[in-house]
C-alpha cells in the first residue's frame, strides 16, 4: 500500500510536469522572423552576455610613412 508521502510526491511531480508542458503559451507553429526589423534585434547569446559577444572592431592599419 502506498504511503501518503509517496502519493504526495507523485501528485506534485505530475502537476509540475503538466505545468512545464503547458507553460510556454506559444500558439501556432514556431517560425524564424524574416522581417528587416528582426535582424536588428539581439540574439540570445548577445542578450545573456553582451560584453562577450559584442562585435569586434577591426584595427586600422598604421599610416604609411613617406620615404
pLDDT by residue for the chain (67 residues), tens digit each? 568 889 999 999 999 998 888 766 667 777 777 788 777 787 778 888 766 545 555 566 666 666 6
Query: Against a cut of 0.75, is the pTM above it?
Result: no
Answer whether 51's CB lies under 8 Å from 42's CB: no
Cα–Cα separations (whole angstroms), residue 4 to 10, 11, 12, 15, 54: 10, 11, 12, 16, 54
pLDDT of res. 58:
59
Instruction: State the sign of the Cα–Cα–Cα–Cα dihedral 50, 51, 53, 56.
Output: positive
**pLDDT given for residue 22 in this prediction:** 79
Q: Are 8 and 14 contacting, i.e. CB atoms less than 8 angstroms apart? A: no
Q: Are 46 and 53 in contact (CB under 8 A)?
A: yes
pLDDT at residue 40, rounded to an integer: 79
Amino acid at each position: 500500500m502506498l504511503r501518503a508521502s509517496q502519493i504526495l510526491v507523485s501528485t506534485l511531480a505530475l502537476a509540475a510536469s503538466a505545468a512545464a508542458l503547458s507553460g510556454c503559451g506559444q500558439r501556432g507553429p514556431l517560425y524564424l522572423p524574416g522581417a528587416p526589423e528582426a535582424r536588428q534585434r539581439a540574439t540570445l547569446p548577445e542578450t545573456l552576455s553582451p560584453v562577450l559577444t559584442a562585435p569586434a572592431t577591426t584595427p586600422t592599419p598604421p599610416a604609411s610613412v613617406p620615404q
